[in-house]
Structure 1
Amino acid sequence: MSKNQSPKPQPDDGFGPHADEQEVHGVGAYQIVTRRYVERRIAELPAGPEAEDARLRGLLDIFDDLTAKGHPEPLTLLAAVLGIPVDTLVTHLRSAARSWGESR
């Protein structure tokens, strides 16, 4: 083989030098897809002051959905998409749970 020729590519069995890259890309892809899903769900929530209770219930539904699907950090993801601190989100979710429980 001359200096300018590349070696014959070897099949990637997941343990070679690219194994870590594949894992990072897989995790990154999952995070992107999940974030887009949450963004879409939030965009579908009703807007305006008159829809505050419905919006809060919708946030609680999204949180419950992420939790049910086994997301490792649903609070962190949801707060990041909303652009609010996790503590603020927790307050909103507690309020939604109380409001939802009263209306059943």
Structure 2
Amino acid sequence: MNVSAEWDDPASEGPQRVTVTAGEITSRTLRRAGRLVDEMTAEFHEMPSVGAYRVMVRQYAEDRLAELPADGFHRGLLDLYHKIDDDGRVEPVATLAAAMRMPEESVRACLRVARQRVA
């Protein structure tokens, strides 16, 4: 799917023209296009993007991980995972992977080890 948006007036709240190119236009395609146009509009107006919350949670996770003591790492990692998961707005493994700068599969392995050591 390809989505382009054009603004004639910088003061307008949204674009004057939107073009969606896709193999098949369905309601799902239009919802996705709508989200993309929302993100482009936010970027055009230099507003915080839709993904700003994900960035904020990743930065929070980085800070918490940096503060974990070596002897409490596994408990702290599990607590952080559960806090992010309970909120439900971002995917916890992907967030921790970004914060720890490692592949998601490695984070899953760390969580398995942490569960074994804490149990």
Distance across 1 between alignment mates of 2:98 and 2:38: 29
Q: Tell me the amino acid that sits aligned with residue 69 of structure 2.
A: P
Cα deviation, 1:26-45, whole Å, max 9, x if unaligned, reads: 32321221111111111110
1:76 to 94, 100, 113: 94
**Structure whose residues are more often helix by fraction:** 1
The answer to whether the 8 A contact 2:58-2:98 is kept is no
CA distance, structure 2, for counterparts of residue 87 and residue 39 of structure 1 = 18
2:75 maps to what in 1?
A: 57
Provide the residue aligned with 1:90 in structure 2: 108
Percent identical residues: 36
Q: For each residue in 1:17-69, what CA deviation from the matched residue of structure 2 results, as whole angstroms up to 9, or x when unmatched?
A: 2744238833232122111111111111013xxx2xx2021111111111000
What SS class does the counterpart of residue 25 from structure 1 fall into?
A: coil
Q: Say which one has the larger Rg.
A: 1
CA distance in 1 between partners of 2:115 and 2:74 (Å): 9
CA root-mean-square deviation: 2.6
Instruction: Please list, as runs of the form range in 1=range in 2, the aligned pairs for 1:21-40 lying within 5 A after superposition.
Output: 21-22=41-42, 25-40=48-63
Bigger CA drift: 65-74 or 24-33?
Answer: 24-33
Normalised by the length of structure 1, the TM-score is 0.67
Structure with larger RCO (C-alpha < 8 A, sep 6+): 1
Q: TM-score, normalised by structure 2?
A: 0.60
Structure 1 outlier segments of 4+, above 6 Å: none
- Structure with higher strand content: 2
Q: Per the alignment, do residues 19 and 98 of structure 1 end up closer, same or farther by CA in structure 2, a change over 3 Å counting?
A: closer
Consecutive unaligned residues in structure 1, runs of 5 or more: 1-6
For structure 2, the residue ranges without an aligned partner over 5 or more in a row are 1-8, 16-36
Distance (whole Å) between structure 2 residues aligned to residue 19 and residue 35 of structure 1:
22
